[in-house]
């Protein structure tokens, strides 16, 4: 356990809760949410996974620690719900 005042700025902001790759995934999902999600080919190129795997991972990341999602990404609960809805739809479409 760290003593108060010895944390790095990223620890106090909760940014260490996500790796750079996880942050990139959530940022990508946020960027494309108003368009129903990003193109499958782009997801495969950027993240080396199918759109189905990508959206499953996005949902898992958003569910892992909701409070850190709000802190790290500045998203409202409504935006998190929208991203999850798009992700579920894309998973359903790819079944």
pLDDT at 69: 87
pLDDT at 16: 62
pLDDT at 4: 43
- With 0-12 / 13-18 / 19 or more C-beta atoms within 10 angstroms meaning exposed / middle / buried, residue 34 is exposed
Residue-wise pLDDT tens digits, 36-64: 999 999 999 999 999 999 999 999 999 99
Q: Are 4 and 53 in contact (CB under 8 A)?
A: no
pLDDT at 76: 92
Residue-wise pLDDT tens digits, 57-95: 999 999 998 888 888 898 999 999 999 999 999 999 987
Is the predicted pLDDT of residue 13 greater than 60, yes or no? no
* Cα distance between residue 76 and residue 93, in whole Å: 26
């Amino acid at each position: 356990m760290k003593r108060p005042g010895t944390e790095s700025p990223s620890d106090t902001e909760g940014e260490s809760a996500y790796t750079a790759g996880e942050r990139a995934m959530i940022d990508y999902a946020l960027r494309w949410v108003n368009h129903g999600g990003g193109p499958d080919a782009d997801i495969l190129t950027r993240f080396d996974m199918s759109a189905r795997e990508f959206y499953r991972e996005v949902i898992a990341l958003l569910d892992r620690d909701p409070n850190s999602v709000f802190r790290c990404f500045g998203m409202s609960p409504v935006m998190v719900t929208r991203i999850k809805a798009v992700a579920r739809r894309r998973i359903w479409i790819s079944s």
